Amino acid sequence: MDLIPGSSSMCDNMVACSIKAPVSLQIGNMFTDAANLGVLVIDAVSPECTSFNLQEISFKNNYTAFLMVRLHKQDPNSPGNVKWVTCLRNYQLMPCPHTEEGAQDYFSISRQQMLIEPDNITAVRLILRPAFSVWLNFGLEDIRISETGKEDSEKTLPSWLSSLTPVGQAPKCQNAIPDPDKISSSIQQMWALTEVMQSSKTTARVGRFDVDGCYDINLLSYT
């Protein structure tokens, strides 16, 4: 995965690793078989060999065709038990060795791309291989290693989102929610009472001076 120089992912949670000078290794007999490819090995050691959880390795390529990454992994249950394990094999940095594509690009390798979980790491070993044996000058530059932070394993949610009730979990309210059956029964009783009142309502017009169907003489005399 290409990486843009200066991006925040290159700077977050950086580990102050000590980057050792590249060590050149030759596959086969360098005197009798000059066609065999040489490799470079670069070790990055954490401060005081303290363990960390690897998040990302970023670097700028310098005509390296293939990359292998090995980790010095510590057993959390037995701190004295450490071993080298391979987490990335033959990672191609240059799609075509006959062109410049990828030769001087920035790359970023995340923990999701690795074969194992890169946790409890004390050192990172980068094994570089060129495309042709005639390439005497190749390597990696600006190597940076970052570790996972608390925000990676436990993301901080906005207050409005964290207050939402998860699916399948009943909301916690100070006042208990009324029983739906009781609400339905009360509504039915109110509806029945309304029907009774409407059916018993008289339609006869009540006159202003009407008393039991007749007019009171005394009331009429005062109008």
Q: What is the mean pLDDT of residues 95-118?
A: 93
Domain assignment of residue 1, yes or no: no
- CA 152 to CA 29: how far, in whole Å? 47
Domain residue limits at 93: 8-149
Residue 45 has pLDDT above 70, yes or no: yes
Q: Is the pTM of this model over 0.75?
A: no
List C-alpha distances in Å: 160 to 60, 65, 164. Answer: 41, 48, 7
Q: How does the average pLDDT of the chain come out, rounded? A: 77
Q: Rounded to a whole number, what is the largest CA-CA distance in the chain?
A: 144
How many domains are contained in the chain?
Answer: 1
Domain assignment of residue 177, yes or no: no
Grade residue 154 by pLDDT with cuts at 50, 70 and 90: very low
Domain assignment of residue 40, yes or no: yes
Domain assignment of residue 160, yes or no: no
Instruction: Provide, rounded to the nearest whole percent, the portion of the chain with pLDDT above 70.
Output: 63
CATH number of the domain within which 133 lies: 2.60.120
Domain assignment of residue 205, yes or no: no
Domain assignment of residue 209, yes or no: no
Q: Which residues pair with 95 in a beta bridge?
A: none
Domain assignment of residue 141, yes or no: yes
Residue 113 has pLDDT above 70, yes or no: yes
Tokens of 134: 């005639």
Q: How does DSSP classify residue 37? A: P
Residue 8 has pLDDT above 90, yes or no: no
Domain assignment of residue 222, yes or no: no
